Amino acid sequence: MRSWKREASFSSSQLPRFPSNRLAILLARMILPNIAFDLLLFGLLLAGAAVDSAFPITHGVASLLVVGGATYWAAQEISEWVLRRIGWTQEPLATSAALCAGGFLYFLLRNQSDFALLALSIGLMMGALMLSISIIAAFGSVLREGRFAAISGWIFTAGLGACLGVTAGVLALILGASGTANLGAKIAAIVGALVIWKLREKLSPPEANPHFTTKNAQSVAPAVAAPHARVALFPQRGTLLDRFVPLLILGAIFSFAARDLLPVAPPATPVIAAPQTENPAEN
């Protein structure tokens, strides 16, 4: 039971150590130049939006998968940020809160099919399990260490994850709208977010990604990887969240300024059986 608690919660004083040489080699293989990472991220968003516009039968699933993957990644970065600032976090809590919030919006406003309901039910059950585990881990950390950093970390992790999920859900609805008439607005939003990010990158260059700073890998990686280093592609500078936030803001603005871009699933109408009439021939 004690070892399970150590795996469930991570504080700044109980993080594992990794061999510096092995970790440096691993991090070096996962790096992408900033321009390549930007093209990959925004290119996938454009591809998903184009597929959903051209094929209404997808019901916005292509954009949902791309935005969902970016949301999962961004939620991990939020968890890492909370860990560095507060000293306690739960990465499954951040990812489950973000994905469940976004998935619920997609089901409520876009796709109320039986399959979507089944996927949402499974996701909500897993999210409730992660929520329960994180609450137990937070209180266990308070009782074990005598500090309330776990409570603050839990609140920040769950709150920021839920906010990310809501804004990402709105973005997935807009990018997944059917019909080629909306494709120009989608492209404008994605390209506008890319331009905003590039301007910010020039005017205020972001810090080097902590996952990529190989010379500080031994000291930095344990503070952002729990319990193992994440195997993924990382940009040289900044994070995926830095690139994702402008698009989330533009998506929220579009949702208020152009409500027609938000597809709303028609309410389910109850099927009423027609009254049976007697056959005159039988009388």
Mean pLDDT, rounded, for 219-223? 42
What confidence tier does 11 reach under pLDDT thresholds 50, 70, 90?
very low
Q: What SS3 class is residue 268?
A: coil
pLDDT reported for residue 100: 93
Mean pLDDT, rounded, for 235-263? 82
Phi then psi for 235, rounded to 5 degrees? -80, 165
219 pLDDT higher than 80 = no
Residue 122 tokens, joined: 């499974």
- How far are the Cα atoms of 73, 151, 221, 270 from residue 15, in angstroms, in the given order? 21, 18, 10, 55
CA dist 225 and 23 (Å) reads 11
Residues 6+ apart with CB under 8 A from 25: none
Whether this prediction's pTM lies above 0.85 is answered by no
Mean pLDDT, rounded, for 240-244? 92
pLDDT reported for residue 217: 43
Mean pLDDT, rounded, for 192-217? 78
22 pLDDT higher than 90 = no
Residue spans of the domains in the chain: they are 36-266
Q: What SS3 class is residue 89?
A: strand
| Alpha-helical segments (H) within 146-264 | 149-175, 183-203, 217-224, 240-257
The mean pLDDT value of the chain amounts to: 79
Q: pLDDT tens digits for 51-61?
A: 999 998 988 89
Check: CB of residue 62 under 8 Å from CB of residue 52.
Answer: yes
